[in-house]
Structure formats: structure tokens, C-alpha cells
Structure 1
Amino acid sequence: MDTAIPTRSGIICTPEEYAATLNGSSLDHCLTRADSIGLTLASQAGLLSLVAVVFVFVIIIRNAIYRSRRTSTRKWHIFQEPMDILMLSLFIADALQAIGAVMDLKWVGAGQVNIGQFCSAQGIISQLGEVNVAITTLLIALYTFIGVWMGRGIRSNKITGAVVGIVWVLVALLVLLGAVLNRGFGKGYERPTPFWCWIGEPYLKWRILGEYVWFWMTLLVSIATYIPLYLWSRGNINFDNASWWKFTIQRADHSEGLRGIRRRSLIMLLYPGIYCCLILPLSVVRWIGFVQERGGHSNHVPPAATFASITIFGLSGACNAILLLTTRPESGLFSRLNRDDMGFAPSSPPLQPKEFADSGSNINADEELELGRLPSR
């Protein structure tokens, strides 16, 4: 085997390190100049998402301080509806995912990806953030679907808080369980894969069960919930108010009175919709790699495809921040006033279809006030 370092490759490893990488005696990976460029782009996408998420948290903290100091006869609270809890969970997970991506800058500077404590930390942080982003997005899709299809959205902050808390605990246990059970000298559970640190190639089951099954589940559920809700927003599906499982299919209803409901249903589905667009390229690339590895062959997915997919995926936090800032500017997380002070009850449900027909000239105002809230019919 030729262990000479290729000329003009940009590899800064020593000949001994490069030879150890080629013959498999070392778990470390030497980066070429092209690898470093691709990894830099991926880390910059993560940095952009991290800055966007930090900006969101700054607004939340600023408004929370303002409301806590504001004189009011009513008790102020940050979480005024379940969606606020889901959004906070989503952005905490986005922050962890972005931090894991930014950690790639260490490998760019070193010119190689080394196994060790920093490598393990990157793998754990990335997995914790990415899985929670997936599951929280899944919850948003399910909450939206239940609110529209069953006509009885989940309005309890306590139930939503408990669900989100259980999710975080279970994901943390899953991540720690994989790291503990596969801990040992030479095992390399969290190792270079090869451009950053994640679950190693020999642990395919942990890769799938510990992360990708949640990606694919969220992808499938988001698509499955989007299709009927999109048809409902067009007026092709009409629900039976007496029995939630009964519905009829009809020609599209272009009534102006349904405009607000359509906007609400589609806006809430933008979160899982954007997630699908971001995770699909990475899922395709990873799945091809898994198939190659399972067949006893090496992963021959072009590095350019890997870097492109992970860079797109790294924009998750930035996309969610933009979506939240544009669709929920008056939510409990962002408004300087409680919904009580603005004339709304925190638990008041969105307008029902029949109410839109009776609201007359107030439809446009109601649309803006309900924009980005969990819909119900």
C-alpha cells in the first residue's frame, strides 16, 4: 500500500499519521484541503444557526425581564400556550446541534480529526441536539394534526411540559446508555466518521436506533400529516363535528372565510416542512453509506455530497429562528405584554370555521392575531 502523502492534497499530518490512517491502525483521520474547506462550510452553517438561536434567546430574556418589572394585576408568565414550550425546546435543541457543528473548527485548525475527550463531547452534544430537534418537530406536527383533525387541540401547558421533559430525559438516557455500554479501550464508540466525531462505523444499530430512526420517523409523520391538512386547508376535506374520525371529500372550497384557517394550518406545518427539506439530503447520503457498509464494503459516498448535506442540515437553527420571528412576533416568548394585557385569554382557542363566516370585517385582524398559533377547527 502506498502510504506517501499525495502532493498538493493539503494534508498536514506526518507520514506516520497518514500511514496509520490508511492501514486502519489508528482511528484518527487526516483531512485534505478539500475536506477542510467542506468542514469549514459546515461549521459556518452551524455558527450562523447558533448566532440566530442566541438572538432568539436574547429577545426572550429581554422581554421576560421587562414583563417581570412591569406593574400588572395579573401574574405574568413566559409560557402562555403549549406552542411556546415546544418552541423553547426546539431552540435549546437547535443550540446544541449548532454547537456540535461549530466544534468542527477544531478539526479544521488541527488538520485532522482525533479520537479523545473532545471527540466524545462533540458526538454526544450533536446527538443530543439532533435527536431532540427531530422529536420536538415531530411533536409540533402531531399537535397541529390533532388540533385540526380531532378539533380538540392540546391546550394544557402542564401536559405539554411533561411530554417535553420526558422526551429530553429519555433522549439523554439513550445517548448516555450508548456511550457507557460501548465504553472501553480501543472501542471508539464516539470516533471520527471520518470528518467529524459521531457514533463509529461498527455501531450501525446504535446509529440507527440512537438517531436516524427519529429523523426518518419525523420525516414520514410530517409528510403524512401535511397531506390531509393541506387538503383541509384547500377545502377538499370536510370534518364531521360529531365524530372526529369521519370526514367527506369534496371539491376545493375557495371561500374567503376560510383564508385565516388555511394560513394558520400551513404556517404551523412550515416547521416540520422545513425540517423535511433539511434532513432529506442528509438521510439519502447516510442511507447510501449504510447500505455500502452493511454489504461489507467501504463508504464511497463522495465527500462533497456529505459536506453539502450536512451544511444544509446545519441551517436548521437559522431557519427555525427566521420562521419564529416572522410568524410568532406576539407569542408569549416574544411579546412584552401578556395575552391577558392585550385582551386575550391565554387558553383561548383560535376561531372556528363557522366563526369566520360570522366575523365579517374582522377576519383580517383575527388572522394576524392568530398567526402562528396551534390551529383547531
Structure 2
Amino acid sequence: MWLEDCTPTADGLDRDTRQNAACNFGFPTRLGLSIVVEMALISAIATASLIGFILYTNAKKWLRWRAAQRRISDKSRRRPFPWPSHLLFYLTTLLGFDFIVSLGAIFDIAWIRDAGIVEGPFCSAQAVLKQTGDVGVALSTLALTSHTFAVLFFRWKPSRSPLLACFVIGLIWLFLGLNDGLAWHFHHTKGQKLYGNTRYWCWITTSHTGKFKYYGIALEYIWMWVTALMNIFLYIPTALLYFGIIHQEEVEVKGHIKRKYSFNPRGNPDVKGDRSVGWLMMLYSVIYVVTIAPVSVARIMETVWDAKDLDKTVPFSATAIGAVFLSSGGLLNTLLYVNTRKDLLFTRENEIDESASEEEYKAVSRTTSPERELPSNFDVDAGY
């Protein structure tokens, strides 16, 4: 419930467009933030559930593999664990960052309760969660997109070992640590706070009186839009390949197999069965752009206006709608992958007994592989 002494009939934003303290939010603002929190809660539950399912199924798979290997007395006949696709590692990382984004939005409950922002450790924590989650979603999406493009467009076949995926994920976390940690270390001081009140929640301060006018763009939004552009540039050619507009063929040049690409604007009628894959590639890029576009446009406009000391402010309704879209990212990604990549998430459980031959083991690896049940021109061992 609202604080008993915090019941303004109108938003304090009408009187002070730069900063808010407790008792400055009226009912419309608190209602809008409540909708943001509700969407964030739904996304958090969805992403946490899918992450839990992925961890459970793969842990169960590993335990069964380990038990099967122990029953094989001849060590030379033991086989390595059939690791899931790199794509599953990137997807799990993406869902984890989606959960962090949702958690940052859920922190708005405090500002709804207080009818305004109260700076302090809780405020700084929300700012860090928002920055880490948003940039983490961007970078993990970029990793997932790049992997998909390399596998589907160039027919790259990554190793079954998860080392490359773990290395990429490690780089993402290293970048986030440096991006957040160095900014905090050098710029968050008693005299000038890097993280603080940004009108409706806590984030990187952009007030015209501070020195962090464009830090929000440099430390966060630039990475979100780089990922959005890369999604478009990488997924569209892949989609055109499956529409038959781009034709790929393998040719032998001086004893080496090389791929030759040609352009046919009318499309190739022989690939009609794979057009659904092309539309799927388009959908992946559209989902990400839709979730980040509204809030990033509103925030960039706000930053520029504040920096130029213009007496303008983005309507709260626009900011709230953008925040709802951003908070829905976890839910949308969960629904998208559950419905389009069942082969990746729902694998059949198989065991290898002591009498299993090498051919039988390979068959088991294929049936438990995340690449099964793909369109005809996918390679089952391609890594997608």
C-alpha cells in the first residue's frame, strides 16, 4: 500500500521534471509503474522456469550418461559426454540476463510504495541490474545471432566441445564487469553519482548538471542498437537463403571445396519447404528490435534534451510503454524458443548400456543432439 502521508492527487513531475523524491508520484505514474512490474514478474517467472528446466534435463542427462559409463568395464569403450549445442549455452545465458532485466524492473515496487525515488544502496542496485541486464541481453543475443548465421549461412560445423561457447560467455561477463566496474570506480563519488534517480527509476544519471550526459548511451544503448543492427544484417541474408533468393552451392577449386553464392530475386521454387526457416530468422530479429526500440528512443531523446537543457520531457506514457516492452523480453524469448526450438529444448532421453557399439553410441548422440528434427537442408551435426 502507499505510504499514509504519500497520497498526491497529481504527479509531482508537473512541478519538477528533473528529479523526484518520495511523495512526487501521483496515481497515473504509480499505475504505469505497476504495469511494468507485473510484466517483469511474468517474464521473471517464465525465464526462471525455462532455465530450471534446461538445467534439470541436462543434469539428468549427464547423470544417466555417467551411470552408463560406469557400467562399461572396458575403459576403451567409454565415450565422452554428448554435449548440447553451443546454441543452448547462449540461449541459457540470454534467459539469465532476461531474468536480471526483469529483476531490475521489479525493484520499481519500492518507488510505487514511496510514490517517488529515494536514492541509496537500493537505488544503485537497481541501476546496476538494469545496465548489466540490458547489455547482457544485447551481447548474448549477438553471440546467438552470430553462431546461427555462421552455421546456417556458411555451414560452419563447430566442435561438440562447449569450450568455445564457454569462452564467449566468459568474454561477455568480463566485458560487463569492466563496463560496470570501471565506470563505478572512476565516476561514482560522493560529489557526483553515476547511478541515481532518473525520473521514474534508478539508472545512469543524465541530469544536465552532471558530467554523465551521454554515459547511458555509451555504456548501454549503443550495445543494444549494435546488436539490433547485427540481427538485421545477419538474419536477413540467412532468411533470403531459405527463401531461395540467395542460392548456395559447393564447388571444387584446386582440390578445395568452396561455396559459391548467387542472387535470384524470383526465388528458387525447390526450397519451398524451407521458407518457414526464413520467416523464423526474420522473427528472431523483429522480436529483439520490438523490445528495445520504444524505451531506447524515449531514453535517448530524454538524454539529449537534458544535455541541451531544453525545457522538454518525454511523456510518461511513452516511457512506461517502452518499459513494458523491455520487461516483456524474457517472456517473448521464452515463448519464442519453446515454440520454435523444441528440438533444442526437449530432447529424448537415451542410455548407453555396456553392450552398446560405437555405431549405437553415435546414433544415441544424434538422437539426443539439439540439431535433430530440423529442415532437410540442416546438417544434424552442424551445431545449430
TM-score range, shorter chain: 0.7 to 0.9
Query: 1:335 maps to what in 2?
Result: 347
Query: 1:188 maps to what in 2?
Result: 193
Query: 2:155 maps to what in 1?
Result: 151
The CA deviation at 1:27 is: 6.3
Query: 1:314 maps to what in 2?
Result: 327
Amino acid at match of 1:151: R
Label 1:368 to 1:230 Cα distance change in 2 as closer, same or farther (>3 A).
closer
Amino acid at match of 1:162: F
Query: 1:226 maps to what in 2?
Result: 235
The CA deviation at 1:38 is: 0.8
Amino acid at match of 1:86: Y
Q: Give secondary structure in 1 for the equivalent of 2:364.
A: coil
Matches within 5 A, 1:231-242: 231-242=240-251
Contact 2:157/2:382 (CA < 8 Å) preserved in 1? yes
Query: 1:259 maps to what in 2?
Result: 273
Stretch moving more, 71-80 or 197-206: 71-80
Q: Does 1:114 align with 2:118?
A: yes
The CA deviation at 1:188 is: 2.2
The CA deviation at 1:341 is: 8.2
Query: 2:73 maps to what in 1?
Result: none
Corresponding pairs, count: 348
Stretch moving more, 139-148 or 71-80: 71-80
Q: Give secondary structure in 2 for the equivalent of 1:22.
A: coil
Contact 2:11/2:29 (CA < 8 Å) preserved in 1? no
Label 1:373 to 1:9 Cα distance change in 2 as closer, same or farther (>3 A).
farther
The CA deviation at 1:31 is: 1.4
Summarize deviations over 1:172-196 as a string: whole Å, max 9, x none: 2211111121121141211111100
The CA deviation at 1:336 is: 5.6
Q: Give secondary structure in 2 for the equivalent of 1:191.
A: strand
Q: In structure 1, what is the Cα distance between the partners aligned to 2:284 and 2:180?
A: 25
Amino acid at match of 1:110: D
Q: In structure 2, what is the Cα distance between the partners aligned to 1:186 and 1:27?
A: 19
- 1:172 pairs, out of 174, 177, 182, with 177
Label 1:144 to 1:296 Cα distance change in 2 as closer, same or farther (>3 A).
same
Query: 2:145 maps to what in 1?
Result: 141
Amino acid at match of 1:276: V
Label 1:197 to 1:292 Cα distance change in 2 as closer, same or farther (>3 A).
same
Contact 1:264/1:370 (CA < 8 Å) preserved in 2? no
- 1:57 pairs, out of 51, 54, 77, with 51
Contact 2:84/2:370 (CA < 8 Å) preserved in 1? no
Q: In structure 1, what is the Cα distance between the partners aligned to 2:245 and 2:167?
A: 35
Label 1:189 to 1:72 Cα distance change in 2 as closer, same or farther (>3 A).
same
Q: In structure 1, what is the Cα distance between the partners aligned to 2:350 and 2:215?
A: 44
Q: In structure 2, what is the Cα distance between the partners aligned to 1:225 and 1:72?
A: 41
Q: In structure 1, what is the Cα distance between the partners aligned to 2:328 and 2:379?
A: 24
Contact 1:191/1:197 (CA < 8 Å) preserved in 2? yes
Contact 1:146/1:152 (CA < 8 Å) preserved in 2? yes
The CA deviation at 1:295 is: 2.5
Label 1:373 to 1:315 Cα distance change in 2 as closer, same or farther (>3 A).
farther
The CA deviation at 1:266 is: 4.2
Amino acid at match of 2:165: T
Query: 2:104 maps to what in 1?
Result: 100
- 1:247 pairs, out of 256, 261, 273, with 261
Q: In structure 2, what is the Cα distance between the partners aligned to 1:164 and 1:23?
A: 40
- 2:316 pairs, out of 283, 303, 322, with 303
The CA deviation at 1:334 is: 4.3
Q: In structure 2, what is the Cα distance between the partners aligned to 1:22 and 1:312?
A: 26
Label 1:107 to 1:27 Cα distance change in 2 as closer, same or farther (>3 A).
closer
CA RMSD of aligned residues (A): 3.5
| Structure 1, unaligned runs of 5 or more | 12-17, 352-364
Amino acid at match of 2:302: G
Query: 1:359 maps to what in 2?
Result: none
Q: Does 1:367 align with 2:369?
A: no
Amino acid at match of 2:199: P
Query: 1:72 maps to what in 2?
Result: 68
Query: 1:28 maps to what in 2?
Result: 21
- 1:130 pairs, out of 125, 134, 144, with 134
Q: In structure 2, what is the Cα distance between the partners aligned to 1:109 and 1:78?
A: 50
The CA deviation at 1:75 is: 6.4
Q: In structure 2, what is the Cα distance between the partners aligned to 1:253 and 1:168?
A: 42
Label 1:321 to 1:134 Cα distance change in 2 as closer, same or farther (>3 A).
same
Contact 2:40/2:328 (CA < 8 Å) preserved in 1? yes
Q: In structure 1, what is the Cα distance between the partners aligned to 2:108 and 2:89?
A: 30
Contact 2:17/2:199 (CA < 8 Å) preserved in 1? no
Q: In structure 2, what is the Cα distance between the partners aligned to 1:81 and 1:158?
A: 11
Q: Does 1:326 align with 2:362?
A: no
